[in-house]
Structure 1
C-alpha cells in the first residue's frame, strides 16, 4: 500500500494516535485496534525481520514509521539508510541523528526527528533550532512536559507528535490539549480506547 505525506497528515486529524511497537508480540494487538490508530512506530526487529513486519502492517493499511536506530544488525550509516528506504520501504523514518535525517530526506523519505527534553539547555536548543527544521515532523519526549510541548507546538513550522511516560489514561486529555498532531504510545489500553 502506498502512503503519502498529505494522506498521513489527514490520518492524524482523524485518529491522533500512533501505536509504538516495542516487541513483535504487539503487532497482533495493533492490528486488532487499527481502527483507532493513524500509524505505527516500529522500534523492534532486526535486518532479517523488519521488512516482514512493515509489509504486514502496510498490507493492513497502517503506515509504519521505522525507528532506524532500534533495528538490530543495521548500521545507521549512509548504506543502512539507503537499504531501509530502498528495500524495506517504511512510510517514514524516526531518528535522533542529524546525519540520518539528512540522508533520508535526500532519498525523499518522510522523516521525524525525535527530541528528548531533559534539561533547560536542551529545551532552549530545541526552540533555537525551530527556524532551521528540515524534517517533516518533530517527536518530543516525554509527553508529560506539557507546558514545554505547548510552546514548541506554537512555534514549530512542522507538526509535533509526543510520547513517552504515558503510563495512565488520565494524562491523554492533558497531553492532547497541548495542540500536538498526535500522541505516540505503546500503552495498549489507549490503543483499545482510542483518542
Structure 2
C-alpha cells in the first residue's frame, strides 16, 4: 500500500487535490489528480467519501485532525483503516503517524513552519517518527522547502497559500515533489 504514493506518482501527478467539501469532491473526481487529500467529513460519512475516491481509481488520504467525531487517540487510525479502507493518513500529531505506520498505512506528517523553532522541531519529529512523506505549510517558502528537501529522503509536499502556477512552479523548483491545494484551478495543472 505504501508504494502507492512514491516519488514516481508524484512526478506523474504533482498536483494533489485537497478537498474540503462535497463540491470539491465531485470536481476532483473529474480531474487528472491521482492523489486526493480529504480535509472534511465526519465519522458517519468518511467511509463513503473514501469509497467514492477509490472507486474512481484515485488514492484517498484522510486528514485525521479534520474529521469530525474522531478523537486524537491512536484508535482513530484503527477506525480509518478498518472502516474506510483509506490508503493513508495526514496528521500533525506524531502518535497518529506512528500508529498509521504500524497498521501499514501511508503516512504524511504535516508541519506548520512558522519560525526557526518549528523548523527544528519538525526535523526532530521526522527523525523519530519516519513518516512516508512530509507536508510543509505554508508551501510558498522556497528557502525552507530547500532546507527540508536537503534534510529528508522522503517525498516533500508543499501545501497552503499556493495561489497560481508561479507558486506551484516555485515550490517544485525548490525541491517539493508535489503540492497540495484546495485551489480548484490548480488541480487542472497536471
Q: Settle same-fold status: TM greater than 0.5.
A: yes
For 1:66 and 1:76, the matched residues in 2 are separated by: 14
Structure 1 segments unaligned to the other structure (5+ residues): none
Counterpart in the other structure of 1:114: 110
CA contact (8 A) 1:133 1:157 kept: no
Aligned length: 189
- How much has 1:20 moved relative to structure 2? 0.3
CA contact (8 A) 1:18 1:185 kept: yes
- How much has 1:75 moved relative to structure 2? 1.5
The DSSP-based 3-state class of the residue aligned with 1:126 is helix
Q: Tell me the TM-score normalized by structure 2.
A: 0.93
CA contact (8 A) 2:15 2:189 kept: no
Q: Tell me the TM-score normalized by structure 1.
A: 0.91
The DSSP-based 3-state class of the residue aligned with 2:185 is helix
The DSSP-based 3-state class of the residue aligned with 1:56 is helix
- How much has 1:132 moved relative to structure 2? 3.2
For 2:189 and 2:155, the matched residues in 1 are separated by: 23
Are residue 7 (structure 1) and residue 8 (structure 2) matched? no
Which residue of 153, 170, 175 corresponds with 1:174? 170
Deviations 1:53-79 (A, max 9, x none): 100110101101100111111213132
> Which residues of 2 match residues 46-195 of structure 1 at below 5 A?
46-194=42-190
CA contact (8 A) 1:45 1:71 kept: yes
- How much has 1:129 moved relative to structure 2? 4.4
